[in-house]
Amino acid sequence: MIKTVLVADDDKEIAELIEVYLKNEGYSVVKCYDGDQAIKTVMNQTIDLAIIDIMMPKINGFDVCRQIRKMFNFPIIILSAKYEFTDKINGLSIGADDYIVKPFHPLELMARIKSQFRRVEIYNEQISKEECVNEISYRGIIMNKNTHKCIFNGEELFLTPTEFEILWILCAEPGQVVSSEEIFEKVWKEKYYEGNKTVMVHIRHIRDKMNEPLGKPRYVKTVWGVGYKVE
């Protein structure tokens, strides 16, 4: 089945350049030039992955990402000229799966897109192969891989696919420390590099959704210099 990629960027030259590379890889492409149009497109068409610029007319990319995450779990890649570390943290925290700074190399973007699709496919394959282990229950956390739902203290916890995978890995080994490197390589299927803050950002987002006390988490705990654990 041909996958459809949404490209939301008010720079038409960049959007068209990305479209050329995507079509060369066999993807279907839908282009939008403002945030409002992007949200309407997502609501009316089946989208498999979105590439979103931050600085767009009408609705900025961060708000578009927030709106998408309320309804859909497909991968989101933010592509932006905003290069500050806080911008990257913000983008990942609101539900983006990757963040690429402009100017960028189109071949790197294609590699990142393929990586996201590969991760989704591997995750779906794991669900079908592990039907006998499709639910975890620990300390008020109930996770089901088939339905991709997480219940926390009796209420549904709305997690992105990436957040769900990270929490599943931790809950599958309660009380055991799992390193950032192991989490990253299991979730992203890529080699971990020193100084990578991606896992830390997603852990922070999970804690926020669980209303964990700042600096004193009760469930997802940091073991400094080692990794994370659920206990």
pTM check: above 0.75: no
Same domain, 70 and 32: yes
Helix (H, G, I), strand (E, B) or coil at 78: strand
Determine the pLDDT at residue 196. Answer: 73
Q: What is the pairing mode between strands 49-52 and 4-8?
A: parallel
Please count the structural domains in the chain: 2
pLDDT score at 51: 96
Q: What is the pLDDT of residues 166-215, one digit of tens each?
A: 999 999 888 899 998 889 888 887 777 766 788 899 999 999 999 988 88
Listing from the earlier edge strand, what are the strands of the sheet with 178-179? Answer: 178-179, 227-230, 220-223
pLDDT in tens, 121-163: 776 666 555 545 688 888 889 999 888 899 999 899 999 989 9
Residue-number span of the structural domain to which 215 is assigned: 132-230
Residue 18 has pLDDT above 60, yes or no: yes
Mean pLDDT (whole number) for 97-123: 88
Shared domain for 106 and 140, answered yes or no, is no
pLDDT at 85 over 60: yes
Kind and range of the H or E element at 7?
Answer: strand 4-8
Specify the DSSP class assigned to residue 133: G
Examine the fold and report which residue of 124, 159, 177 is the final residue of a domain before the chain moves on.
124
Q: How far apart are CA 133 and CA 216, in angstroms?
A: 31
Instruction: Please tell me the predicted confidence (pLDDT) of residue 204.
Output: 92
Phi, psi values for residue 5, rounded to 5°: -115, 130
Spatial contact of 96 and 78, defined as CB atoms under 8 Å apart? yes
Mean pLDDT across the chain: 88
Mean pLDDT, range 56-75, rounded to an integer: 90
Percent of the chain with pLDDT over 70: 94
pLDDT at 173: 87
Indicate if 119 and 152 belong to the same structural domain. Answer: no
* Cβ atoms of 88 and 79 closer than 8 Å: no
